[in-house]
Amino acid sequence: MSKIVSLVCGIIFGIGLVISEMINPEKVLGFLNIFRDWDPSLAFVMIGALIISTPIFHLFKNNNKPLFLPSFSIPTNKEIDKKLIIGSIFFGSGWGLVGLCPGPAITSLALLNISSIIFVLSMFIGFYIASKYN
Amino acid sequence: MNIVNFTPISALSGGLLIGLSVALFFTLNGRLIGISGIASSVIVSKDRRVDNFLFLFGLILGPVFYNLIFGKEINISISNSIILLVAAGALVGFGTRLSNGCTSGHGISGISRFSLRSIIATITFMLIGILTVSITGVL
């Protein structure tokens, strides 16, 4: 069952990225362009997601187990370290250069756009290089 | 500052679906969605590899289902500079893996559980994103 859940959650997430237009880099760059022509829409994507995920997380986090797997897996790292800050700076600059973050980038592969494919391949190379540091 | 192209209803609707996906994945599979984590795991870890792969495959099916349900074309506008795409892709991949999270992992899942680490990461990548767009917009 966990495999079906993974697939279905991916589909729902992907449809959400399309409807909200997070999949469109132009929209993302418009959101980050606060000093000139600002498109605040993407703040509402975050609000929409958080008003569902926040209460559900806190309602279920103390349960013994999720429905289909033996245990919950919740990140335990609380350290505010250099890796967190430097990683976020790298990520923010790449995000601001093209307007794609990992979810929308992978989702946009469905459009068979050559730019998306180049971005995603480079992103996986970045994952691989960073995994050598962790 | 001028407000342009503001589409709060579609943004909120899409956001609710993203939240639903995070909530279902947590209550049923016990994990919090972070797409950079799921995607990088596929290449560097054997842990739950099939689940991770299926999730990513589902993401790519998202636009296909959107098309079937709503019958609408999806138009995106993206840079066609190869140098920019390679540099930005590598920065995004390296950065999200180093900080263990992206817009979904820190921005949604992390903030949902009130993680200070994720709140700081989200503020950092948002500010740097804004700074980057401000600089490249002037060039």
Domains of chain A, residue spans: 2-131
Which of B17, B64, B127 is the closest to A110 by Cβ? B64
> A92 pLDDT exceeds 70?
yes
> Helices B116-138 & A25-32, crossing angle to 10 degrees?
100
Is there a contact between B29 and A64 (Cβ–Cβ < 8 Å)? Answer: no
| Mean pLDDT taken over chain A | 96
* Alpha carbon distance, N-terminus to C-terminus of chain A: 32
| Mean pLDDT taken over chain B | 96
The model's pLDDT over B21-50, given as tens digits with 9 standing for 90+, comes to 999 999 999 999 999 999 999 998 888 999
Alpha carbons A18 and B111: distance in angstroms, whole number: 22
Q: Across the interface, do A50 and B96 touch by the CB < 8 Å criterion?
A: no
To which H or E segment does residue A37 belong? strand A37-38
> B4 pLDDT exceeds 80?
yes
User: What are the b/e assignments for A29-48, b being 16+ CB within 10 Å?
Assistant: bbbbbbeeebbbbbebbbeb
Quick count: other Cβ atoms within 10 Å of Cβ B24?
20
3-class SS of residue B46: coil
Identify the pLDDT of residue B36.
97
Cβ–Cβ contact B87 with A under 8 A: yes
Query: What is this structure's pTM?
Result: 0.97
Give A64's contacts in chain B (Cβ within 8 Å): none
